Amino acid sequence: MPSVIDRIKRFARSPQGRKARARAERLARDPRTQAKVRGLLSRGRGGGRRRY
């Protein structure tokens, strides 16, 4: 049985994997997506309201 890493490598080389990578790269360049990620990171780092 192939390991998880082998399966990921095989997917990345497939046409579907290349298409997924292209979409991810396009989304990473989008300013709206970057703003969403920054917001999520700030919330994860304690930027939100604290509940005690």
Q: pLDDT tens digits, residue range 3-46?
A: 999 999 999 999 999 999 999 999 999 999 999 999 999 887 86
Which residues neighbour 34 within 8 Å (Cβ) at sequence distance 6 or greater?
Answer: 28
The model's pTM: 0.60
C-alpha–C-alpha distance, residues 44 and 48, integer Å: 8
What distance lies between CA 2 and its chain's CA centroid? 24
What are the residues whose beta carbons fall under 8 Å from the beta carbon of 17, sequence distance 6 or more?
A: 11
